[in-house]
């Protein structure tokens, strides 16, 4: 991947910040856990998103396009179920 690790993290966090209000409205959230050197992005799905039956659709149609736009070099996104307790926000 091009760019520094800090720069890539910043761009991904900014993209997630644009999506996060909608997730919070539905009782969910997402946290960036890691970005590997090969471009694999690991996200923790939290709150309602952790156990939502539409989790794969949220990742594919909301999170993935925004993250690929921010950092086109990412190779894949790996969702990790997190705490289903509703987030504060």
Least confident residue range of 15-19, 36-40, 79-83: 79-83
CATH 3.10.129.10 fits 5-81, yes or no: no
pLDDT above 90: residue 86: no
Domain range annotation of the chain: 5-81
> What mean pLDDT is predicted for residues 57-84?
91
Take residue 7 and report the two structure tokens written for it: 């720069």
Give the Cα-Cα-Cα angle 38, 74, 43 (nearest 5 degrees): 95
CB 89, CB 48: distance < 8 Å: no
Higher confidence at residue 17 or residue 87? 17
What percent of the chain is helix, strand and coil (3-state, nearest 5)?
45, 25, 30
> What mean pLDDT is predicted for residues 3-32?
92
pTM: 0.85
């Amino acid at each position: 991947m091009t760019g520094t690790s800090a720069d890539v993290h910043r761009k991904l966090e900014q993209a997630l910040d644009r999506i996060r209000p909608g997730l919070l409205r539905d009782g969910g959230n997402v946290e960036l856990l890691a970005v590997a050197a090969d471009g694999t992005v690991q996200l923790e799905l939290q709150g309602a998103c952790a156990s939502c039956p539409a989790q794969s659709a949220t990742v594919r149609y909301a999170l993935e396009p925004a993250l690929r736009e921010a950092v086109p070099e990412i190779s894949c996104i790996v969702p990790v179920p997190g705490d289903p307790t509703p987030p504060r926000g």
